[in-house]
Amino acid sequence: STGSRKPKPPPVSHYNLNNVTVTANPLENRENILILTPMARFYQGYWDNLLRLSYPHELITLGFILPKTTEGNTATTALQKQIARTQKSGQEKDRFKSIIILRQDFDPPIQSQDESERHKMKNQKIRRAGMAKARNSLLFSTLGPATSWVLWVDADVVETPPTLIQDLARHNQPVITPNCYQRYWNPETKEMDERAYDFNNWQDSPTAQDLAKQMDPDDILLEGYGEMATYRTLMAYLYKEDGLLHEEIPLDGVGGATLLVKADVHRDGAMFPPFSFYHLIETEGFAKMAKRLGWQPIGLPNYKVYHYNE
C-alpha cells in the first residue's frame, strides 16, 4: 500500500453452522432463503410470481444461471431489465437481499428449447446431464454458510401461492415439492382447464427396479415415456380436489420445478448427478442421493404450482 493510513484488516467470518437455524417457522426465525433458477428463457410470469412471494424479500437471495446461447443472451437482457426495475426503482419491500447471475461456461447440449425437441427420449440423457451441471454450478457457486434453505424454482413456473416458502417450510422436511400442473385451453369444454405437468415426482415400482437391474451401468430410467413403462406411482396423478392441502407422501424421485431443500442436505453433498446414479439422473438422481444420505424426500400431491404452457 502507498498511503500512510493502516489499511483495514481483511475480513474474518466465523460461522457456527449450528446457529444457522432451519425450522418450520423460518419467517419468525429470520432464516435466509436462496432461490435458485436455471434459466434458458425469461418469462414475465415467473418474475411477477417471484415478486408476489410474501416471505420477506430482504431474507431472499436470488441466483440464476443462463446458457451462453442467443436465447440465453436474450433471457439475460430481459432478466436484468426486471432486476433493475425491482432493485433500483421498485418499492423497498420488493427488493431482494442480493442477486447473483451466472453465465454458463459450457455449451448447453441441445440448442433447441422447443418442447417437442426437448422431450425426445434419445435427447434426454444428454439434455438432463447438461441441466444437472447447470444446477450444480449454480448451487456450488452461490450457497453460503448463512443459508438455511434452498428453493429451486424453474424459470417457467409462473404461478404459486404467495405463501409458498412458508407453506413448504412449515412441514419441516429435508426435501419437499408441491405438485406441478399446467393451465391450458380445453377445446372440448371451451374453458380454461388444467392438467398434470411434472412426472419426475414419483414413488418407485418393482417394474422400474427390474428394468434398472437389466440396464447397463450408464443407462438411465426416464419417466413419462410409453416405450419405457415403469409403473411408478406418479404424484402428478395423486391430486385430489377434496384432499387435504398439506397431505404428505414419501417420494423416490423428484422434479426441480419447485423444490424446497434444507441447505444442510446440499451441504452433506447432495447434488444433481450429471451421470447415471442408480440409473437416475439430475433431479431424480438428487432424490436418490438425498435418500442415500438419510434424507427422505416428501411430496404434497394437493398443493399445486403451475408451469407455463408453451
Ligand X SMILES: Nc1nc2c(ncn2[C@@H]2O[C@H](COP(=O)(O)OP(=O)(O)O)[C@@H](O)[C@H]2O)c(=O)[nH]1
- Which residues are near ligand X by CB under 6 A? 37-41, 65-67, 104, 108, 118, 130-131, 134, 154-156
223 scored as a contact of Mn ion (CB under 5 A):
no
Q: How many CB atoms lie within 10 A of CB 307?
A: 21
Closest alpha carbon to 146 in 10, 12, 15: 15
Q: Closer CB to ligand X, residue 29 or residue 82?
A: 82
CA–CA separation, 130 and 38 (whole Å): 11
* Cα torsion angle, 190, 194, 196, 197, sign: positive
Binding letters toward Mn ion, positions 145-184, x by CB under 5 A: ---------x-x----------------------------
Interaction with a copy of itself in 62-91: which residues (CB under 8 A)?
68, 80, 83-84, 87-88
With beta carbons less than 8 A apart as the criterion, state whether 247 and 300 touch.
yes
105 scored as a contact of a copy of itself (CB under 8 A):
yes
Could you give the angle at which helices 121-142 and 282-292 cross, rounded to 10 degrees?
A: 60
Report the partner that residue 2 touches, choosing among ligand X, a copy of itself, Mn ion, none (CB closer than 5 to 8 A by kind): none
Least distance (Å) between residue 8 CB and ligand X: 29
Give how many residues touch Mn ion by CB under 5 A: 2
With a CB cutoff of 8 Å and minimum separation 6, the contacts of 272 are 131, 132, 133, 135, 136, 139, 256, 282, 283, 285, 286
Question: What pairing do the DSSP bridges indicate for beta strands 258-262 and 157-159?
Answer: unpaired
- What is the binding site for a copy of itself (CB under 8 A)? 1, 7, 9-18, 20, 68, 80, 83-84, 87-88, 92, 95-105, 132-133, 136-137, 139-145, 147, 264, 266-269, 271-275, 292-293
